């Protein structure tokens, strides 16, 4: 309670009344926090350009017991990504990624790994905008993994044999993975190449993953997209609002 300082990433902002904004931030120390930025829409606002989506800021906010909305006092820019806003594709992808964070990260629960992942993906996108779709794939896999919704696809649910190195795997309606023998090749096939990309996403940094993605076929990356987006729909019980087909 009281005055809190943290590093944060602006996820989204909404207009509130005449001069204010509600700004949703993913903070390093308190997870997703909804703040009210008084006067943020005035021409000479103390927040300046610090509330643009995906700006990394040093924020100071005041928290009152029992109130979900906190009051934003300061937002100093650590790094801004104005260039990204110049492309409609980037803007749509960032809106999609911020929606995933807001859906999957419970409010006020710090998650250092999630914070670092979001930051690393946005930085990688700023460095190599051509890797947009691979970076969104990376983001989907990690959002699911950190929220505990990425199924274990390391061994077969039937016989415990190691999966995915020499043959495709088969997923049932609950995304449980089986080897060709145990599944009788029934269910959704997920290729060795798709499985390899899934493993790479969990092992590599966003930019390293994007490099590996350049060397695999669109079909393989689509398989990964289908898998992650199928899991996301299953968890949310609907399509994300900002869902877009990026490939
Ligand atoms: Zn098996």
The whole-angstrom separation of Cα 47 and Cα 69 is: 18
Q: What is the extent of the structural domain holding 246?
A: 87-247
Which of 59, 80, 101 is where one domain is finished? 80
Which of 16, 45, 80 is where one domain is finished? 80
Query: Which tokens is 35 given?
Result: 């703040």
Do 121 and 234 fall into the same domain? yes
Distance (angstroms) between ligand 1 centre and the Cα of 177 equals 9
Quickly state the pLDDT bin for 85 (edges 50, 70, 90).
Answer: confident
Do 8 and 23 fall into the same domain? yes
Distance (angstroms) between ligand 1 centre and the Cα of 95 equals 39
Query: For the domain that residue 159 is a member of, what is the CATH number?
Result: 1.20.1440.120
Quickly state the pLDDT bin for 244 (edges 50, 70, 90).
Answer: low
Kindly tell me if the per-residue pLDDT of 155 is higher than 80.
yes
Distance (angstroms) between ligand 1 centre and the Cα of 169 equals 9
Pick the residue with more confidence: 111 or 242?
A: 111
Distance (angstroms) between ligand 1 centre and the Cα of 175 equals 15
Kindly tell me if the per-residue pLDDT of 107 is higher than 80.
yes
Distance (angstroms) between ligand 1 centre and the Cα of 145 equals 23
Do 56 and 161 fall into the same domain? no
Distance (angstroms) between ligand 1 centre and the Cα of 170 equals 10
Distance (angstroms) between ligand 1 centre and the Cα of 161 equals 6
pTM: 0.94
Distance (angstroms) between ligand 1 centre and the Cα of 212 equals 28
Do 120 and 162 fall into the same domain? yes
Query: Which tokens is 114 given?
Result: 């999630």
Query: For the domain that residue 33 is a member of, what is the CATH number?
Result: 2.40.50.140
Do 141 and 54 fall into the same domain? no
Which of 80, 101, 133 is where one domain is finished? 80
Distance (angstroms) between ligand 1 centre and the Cα of 163 equals 8
Quickly state the pLDDT bin for 209 (edges 50, 70, 90).
Answer: very high
Quickly state the pLDDT bin for 223 (edges 50, 70, 90).
Answer: very high
Do 194 and 98 fall into the same domain? yes
Distance (angstroms) between ligand 1 centre and the Cα of 244 equals 35
Quickly state the pLDDT bin for 247 (edges 50, 70, 90).
Answer: very low
Mean pLDDT (the chain, rounded):
93
Do 124 and 63 fall into the same domain? no
Distance separating the N- and C-terminal Cα atoms of the chain: 44
Distance (angstroms) between ligand 1 centre and the Cα of 162 equals 8
Distance (angstroms) between ligand 1 centre and the Cα of 224 equals 22
Do 215 and 109 fall into the same domain? yes
Contacts 24+ apart (CB under 8 A), 153-157: 153/177, 153/190, 153/195, 153/198, 156/182, 157/182
Distance (angstroms) between ligand 1 centre and the Cα of 187 equals 13
Match 């896999």 to its residue by tokens: 141
Kindly tell me if the per-residue pLDDT of 246 is higher than 80.
no
Report the domain count for the chain.
2
Do 192 and 98 fall into the same domain? yes
Distance (angstroms) between ligand 1 centre and the Cα of 156 equals 5
């Amino acid at each position: 309670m009281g005055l809190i300082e943290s590093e944060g990433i602006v996820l989204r902002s909404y207009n509130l009344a005449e001069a204010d904004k509600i700004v949703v931030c993913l903070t390093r120390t308190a997870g997703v926090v909804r703040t009210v930025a008084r006067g943020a829409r005035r021409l000479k606002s103390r927040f300046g350009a610090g509330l643009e989506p995906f700006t990394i800021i040093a924020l100071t906010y005041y928290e009152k017991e029992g109130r979900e909305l906190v009051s934003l006092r300061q937002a100093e820019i650590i790094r801004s990504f104005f260039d990204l806003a110049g492309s409609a594709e980037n803007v749509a992808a960032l809106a999609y990624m911020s929606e995933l964070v807001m859906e999957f990260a419970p409010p006020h629960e710090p998650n250092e790994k999630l914070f670092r992942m979001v930051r690393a993906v946005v930085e990688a996108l700023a460095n190599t905008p051509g890797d947009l779709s691979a970076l969104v794939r990376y983001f989907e896999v990690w959002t699911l993994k950190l929220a505990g919704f990425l199924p274990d696809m390391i061994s077969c649910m039937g016989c415990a044999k190691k999966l995915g190195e020499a043959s495709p795997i088969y997923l049932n309606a609950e995304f449980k993975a089986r080897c060709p023998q145990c599944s009788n090749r029934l269910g959704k096939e997920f290729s060795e190449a798709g499985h390899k990309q899934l493993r790479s996403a969990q092992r590599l940094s966003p930019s390293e993953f994007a490099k590996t993605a350049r060397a695999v076929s669109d079909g393989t990356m689509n398989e990964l997209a289908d898998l992650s987006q199928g899991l996301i729909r299953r968890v949310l019980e609907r399509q994300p609002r900002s869902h877009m087909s990026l490939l």
